[in-house]
């Protein structure tokens, strides 16, 4: 890369970094709203399916009907295991694990965005601050600004770090929250699957 281009970028200031972080915050908010909608819907499906299975543990036909009618990740995992096992407990367990991994990937879709922003936004903000400091001292050295203007420039430069933290902290919180929700959903689905597995073993 051309050294003069690097120098020009360094003295340009960090405002463009702040604008980039603002765009990242919009992206993070979009992911949060999208995942919130998906996870909330999955929890409703799971609660309904759990109630049906627990209330009809001895009614095998009713359980099958509930799985056929139920939606969401839990219903899909258990129905896939039921349909593919042929009444074999070992096959049921293997298929359930396979289907759970597939649904886990779907439920965690886009969470990488939140994890990446949570880990890296503070460093991006710090980068913007460093650029702002470089610009402030460059202006001072060139006599383009007095000390008061330089201090104002330094204050502005620190905004980049604040914006980086503003993006990172909610992203980390949301990432951990959704990871916990996905884990609880899959754990509950496994618990229901174990009940069905016990029912299959008793019938074998």
Place of tokens 């890296």: 120
With CA atoms as reference, report the closest residue to 196 among 79, 43, 72. Answer: 79
**Which of the four pLDDT bands, split at 50, 70 and 90, describes residue 177?**
very high
pLDDT reported for residue 174: 96
Instruction: Tell me the pLDDT of the chain averaged across its residues.
Output: 84
Q: Is the distance from CB of 100 to CB of 190 less than 8 angstroms?
A: yes
User: Which carries the bigger pLDDT value, residue 13 or residue 81?
Assistant: 81
pLDDT value of position 11: 58
pLDDT at 68: 72
| Three-point CA angle 171, 175, 178, nearest 5° | 135
Instruction: Please choose, from the candidates 71, 89, 107, the residue with its C-alpha nearest in 3D space to the C-alpha of residue 187.
Output: 107
pLDDT score for 53 = 80
- pTM for this model (two decimals): 0.85
Residue 13's pLDDT is 62
* Better pLDDT: 138 or 176: 176
Residues 94/95/101/106 CA torsion (nearest 10 deg): 180
Tokens 């049921």, residue located: 92
**pLDDT confidence of residue 56:** 74
Rounded Cα distance between 25 and 121, Å, is 10
Looking at residue 182, what is its pLDDT? 95
CA distance 199 to 196: 5
**Residue 6 exposure: Cα atoms within 13 Å on the Cβ side:** 3
Compute the distance between CA of residue 102 and CA of residue 9 in angstroms, rounded to an integer: 45
pLDDT digits (tens, 9 = 90+) for 122-173: 999 888 888 888 877 777 776 655 666 667 667 777 888 899 999 999 999 9
pLDDT for 25 equals: 94
Angle 55-74-183 from CA coordinates, rounded to 5°:
110
| 53-68 confidence digits (pLDDT tens) | 887 766 777 777 777 7
């Amino acid at each position: 890369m051309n050294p003069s281009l690097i120098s020009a970028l360094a003295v340009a200031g960090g405002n463009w970094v702040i604008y980039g972080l603002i765009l990242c915050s919009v992206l993070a908010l979009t992911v949060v709203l999208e995942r919130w909608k998906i996870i909330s819907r999955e929890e409703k499906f799971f609660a309904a399916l759990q109630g049906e299975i627990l209330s009809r543990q001895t009614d095998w036909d009713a359980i099958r009907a509930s799985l056929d009618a139920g939606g969401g990740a839990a219903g899909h995992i258990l129905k896939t295991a039921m349909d593919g096992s042929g009444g074999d407990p070992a096959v049921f367990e293997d298929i359930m694990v396979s289907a759970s991994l597939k649904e886990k990937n779907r439920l965690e879709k886009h969470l990488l965005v939140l994890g990446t922003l949570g880990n890296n936004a503070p460093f991006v903000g710090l980068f913007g601050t460093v650029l702002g400091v470089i610009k402030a001292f460059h202006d001072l050295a060139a006599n383009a600004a007095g000390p008061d203007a330089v201090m104002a420039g330094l204050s502005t430069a620190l905004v980049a770090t604040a914006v980086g933290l503003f993006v990172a902290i909610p992203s980390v919180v949301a990432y951990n929250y959704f990871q916990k929700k996905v884990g609880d959903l899959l754990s509950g689905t496994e618990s229901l699957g174990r009940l069905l597995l016990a029912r299959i073993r008793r019938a074998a």
